[in-house]
Structure 1
């Protein structure tokens, strides 16, 4: 041992990739929270009967968002070996939220 610190570039690259992926999803989660708040504000402007339908849609959207948030937590808590496997599930949950949000926005126009 010559006293030099060994630097594993591959490990750092993977860690940076994981952190970037998680940060991207955190930012997306915050954006969705803001969009859901806007949808609630729009729903509040409608009559009681329409509000019920809108809030039902919003509630379903919130459940999907919460599921995606839980997947992100699993991903953050996962070790390097399970990370890639969990990443796919997280991406699927994210796609579900994107689709539901798009549908809700289209419905509320």
Structure 2
């Protein structure tokens, strides 16, 4: 159980960090032209949706145990990787 708790804490901290990074991206959007803002607004919305999905998976992890926990963990890692890639890509585009 300690391993699961540590894993959940790690994911929670990472999710919080990514939320801050998405906030930073939104702040950068305020300083760009209207055409770029429109182009990247959809990307920010998609990142927020992925962030919500990751948060929902965290709740599932909190309630899962045994084999179910391993299955949810695998799905959570996929969502995490997708969110991580999306954030990195958005940062590159807004440099």
TM-score bucket of the superposed structures, by smaller chain: over 0.9
> More displaced, 64-73 or 22-31?
64-73
Question: TM-score normalized by structure 1?
Answer: 0.83
5+ residue gaps, structure 2, are none
Which residue, 72, 75, 92 being the options, matches 1:86? 72
Equivalent-residue separation in structure 1 for 2:54 and 2:16 (angstroms): 12
For residues 30-76 of structure 1, the C-alpha deviation after alignment (integer angstroms, 9 at most, x for no partner) is 10111011000100111222111121111111111111111111111
Q: What is the deviation of 1:81?
A: 3.3
Which residue, 29, 47, 65 being the options, matches 2:33? 47
Taking the TM superposition and a 5 Å limit, the aligned residue runs for 1:12-51 are 15-51=1-37
5+ residue gaps, structure 1, are 1-14
- Structure 1 consecutive aligned stretches of length 4 or more whose deviation exceeds 3 Å: none
**Structure ranking higher on relative contact order (CA contacts 8 Å, 6+ apart):** 2
Matched pairs, number: 95
Bigger radius of gyration among the two: 1
2:82 is aligned with 1:108: no
Q: What is the deviation of 1:79?
A: 2.4
Question: TM-score normalized by structure 2?
Answer: 0.94
